[in-house]
Structure 1
Amino acid sequence: MEASIGQRLRTLIEEKGYTPYFVSQKTGISESTLSRILNNASKKPNIKNSEVLAQFFNVSLEWLLNGTGDVNSFESSAAPFANHRVTVRQVTFDNYMEVKYLPVIAQAGYLNGYYDIKEHIDELDTMLVPKEFEKGNYLVVEIAGDSMNDGTTRAICDGDRLLIKELDKTFWKDKLHFRQNLFVIMSNEGIVCKQIIEHNTETHEIRCHSWNENYPDYTINLNDVYKLFYVKKIVERRIRF
Structure 2
Amino acid sequence: METYPNNNFEVLRLELSVTNREFASLLGVREQVYSRIKKGEYPLGLMMKTRIQKAFPHIKYDWLLYGRGDRTDTGPRIQSETVSTVHMGNGRSIGYFSDDVKFIDENKNNIFFEVSPGRYLMQTKLVTEKAKAGYLSGFSDEEYMDDLPAHFITVNEFHKGAYRSFEVSGDSMTDGTDASVLDGDIVTGRLIKRELWQSKFHTHKYRYWVVVHRYEGVIIKEIANHDVSNGILTLRSLNADKTKYPDFEVNLDDVDQIFNVVDISRSL
> Given the superposition, is the C-alpha separation of residues 200 and 31 from structure 1 closer, same or farther in structure 2, using an over 3 Å criterion?
same
The answer on whether the counterparts of 2:127 and 2:135 sit within 8 Å (CA) in structure 1 is no
Match 2:153 to one of 110, 126, 129: 129
Q: Aligned residue for 2:22?
A: 31
Q: State the SS of the aligned residue for 1:105.
A: coil
Unaligned 5+ segments in structure 1 are 1-7, 14-23, 36-48, 53-79
| 1:106 positional shift | 0.7
**Paired residues, what number?**
176
Q: State the SS of the aligned residue for 2:164.
A: strand
| 1:84 positional shift | 5.6
> Given the superposition, is the C-alpha separation of residues 204 and 157 from structure 1 closer, same or farther in structure 2, using an over 3 Å criterion?
same
Q: State the SS of the aligned residue for 1:130.
A: strand
| 1:133 positional shift | 2.5
Find the aligned partners of 1:222 and 1:89 in 2 and give their Cα distance.
Answer: 52
The answer on whether the counterparts of 1:187 and 1:224 sit within 8 Å (CA) in structure 2 is yes
| 1:175 positional shift | 1.1
Match 2:193 to one of 165, 168, 171: 168
Q: Aligned residue for 1:227?
A: 257
Q: Aligned residue for 1:238?
A: 267
Kindly provide the amino acid, as one letter, of the partner of residue 118 in structure 1. Answer: D
Given the alignment of the two structures, is residue 218 of structure 1 paired with residue 218 of structure 2, yes or no? no
| 1:29 positional shift | 2.8
Q: Considering only aligned residues, what root-mean-square deviation do their CA atoms show, in Å?
A: 3.7
> Given the superposition, is the C-alpha separation of residues 139 and 89 from structure 1 closer, same or farther in structure 2, using an over 3 Å criterion?
farther
Kindly provide the amino acid, as one letter, of the partner of residue 165 in structure 1. Answer: R
> Given the superposition, is the C-alpha separation of residues 116 and 34 from structure 1 closer, same or farther in structure 2, using an over 3 Å criterion?
closer
The answer on whether the counterparts of 2:153 and 2:263 sit within 8 Å (CA) in structure 1 is no
| 1:153 positional shift | 0.5
Pick the structure with greater CA Rg: 1
Q: Aligned residue for 2:141?
A: 118
Give CA-to-partner distance per residue, 1:154-195, whole Å, 9 cap, x none.
Answer: 100000011111011121000112233211000122211111
Identical columns (%): 30
Match 2:183 to one of 158, 162, 167: 158
Higher share of residues assigned strand: 2
Match 1:138 to one of 157, 160, 163: 163
Find the aligned partners of 1:178 and 1:231 in 2 and give their Cα distance.
Answer: 11
> Given the superposition, is the C-alpha separation of residues 103 and 221 from structure 1 closer, same or farther in structure 2, using an over 3 Å criterion?
same
The answer on whether the counterparts of 1:32 and 1:125 sit within 8 Å (CA) in structure 2 is no
Find the aligned partners of 2:183 and 2:66 in 1 and give their Cα distance.
Answer: 34
Q: Under a length normalisation based on structure 1, what TM-score does the superposition of the two structures give?
A: 0.62
> Given the superposition, is the C-alpha separation of residues 81 and 213 from structure 1 closer, same or farther in structure 2, using an over 3 Å criterion?
closer
Q: Aligned residue for 1:46?
A: none
Unaligned 5+ segments in structure 2 are 1-10, 27-34, 39-63, 75-96, 99-112, 115-119
